[in-house]
Amino acid sequence: MVLAAGLGTRMRPLTEARPKPLLPLAGHTLLEHALDRIEDAGIGNVVVNAHWFPDLIEEVCATRTHPPTVLREETALETGGGVKNALPLLGTQPFLVVNGDAFWLDGPVPTIQRLAGRFDPEQMDALLLMVRSAQVDAEVGNGDFLLDPLGHVRWPKEKEVAPYVFGGLQVVHPRLLDGSTEGPFSMRQPWARAMEAGRLFGLVHDGAWFHLSRPIDLRRAEVALATGLTRVLF
């Protein structure tokens, strides 16, 4: 599933007339980059949710060789609500969730393949891609997560600096959403339950990754890709 229903408020004015996943980077939209990686991984059943300018999302998806299913949300359901709403289309097995504004370059092994190979449904309800905060050329605050030696994920305590940020990709078992409320909610809610049960894990990214929150971040990414700077940094 690709999450493409957000309003992209921090990207304004670029998102005043288009959804954030349709912003261009390196010759293609962010959504097209994500769908290309998903297709390369051999994933055939793909769902894209849409809320802000859904017609534009549908137009882009319709041009694909294997068009994904576009699920319109009349009310924005946020990340968790969007995934739960799509469960009937995603099946009963673990599935990949990609943020529509995620942009990454693979390391030696394709990132989606690494996540799939690491996911253990016996131990995990979700496996999140982690990016080292120190490698992000953008403002990431105090970071998002910490990892223990076994890969268990936890949030930082007050005044604690977290060395990792969420990379916008995760493998999810449908049971992660068990007990979730109806309507809009963040993935932080089911993550918190999995974290408490010791079933939320992280995998550290071994390639390049770009934090695309504000227009300046998009410009920095364009320059880095055009100049080959990513080969130096990663």
pLDDT digits (tens, 9 = 90+) for 84-104: 999 999 989 999 999 999 999
Minimum mean pLDDT among 16-25, 173-182, 210-219: which range? 210-219
The pLDDT value recorded for residue 234 is 46
The pLDDT value recorded for residue 233 is 47
Around Cβ 186, how many Cβ atoms within 10 Å?
12
Cis check: omega of the bond before 13, within 30 degrees of 0: yes
Structural domains of the chain, with CATH: 2-233 (3.90.550.10)
pLDDT digits (tens, 9 = 90+) for 57-87: 999 999 999 999 999 999 999 999 999 999 9
pLDDT digits (tens, 9 = 90+) for 127-161: 999 999 877 765 666 778 999 999 999 999 888 88
CA dihedral defined by 204, 206, 207, 210, rounded to 10 degrees? 20
Mean pLDDT of 114-130: 97
pLDDT digits (tens, 9 = 90+) for 216-233: 888 888 888 888 765 544
The pLDDT value recorded for residue 232 is 43
Closest CA to 155 of 123, 115, 187: 187
Q: What share of the chain has pLDDT > 70, as a percent?
A: 95
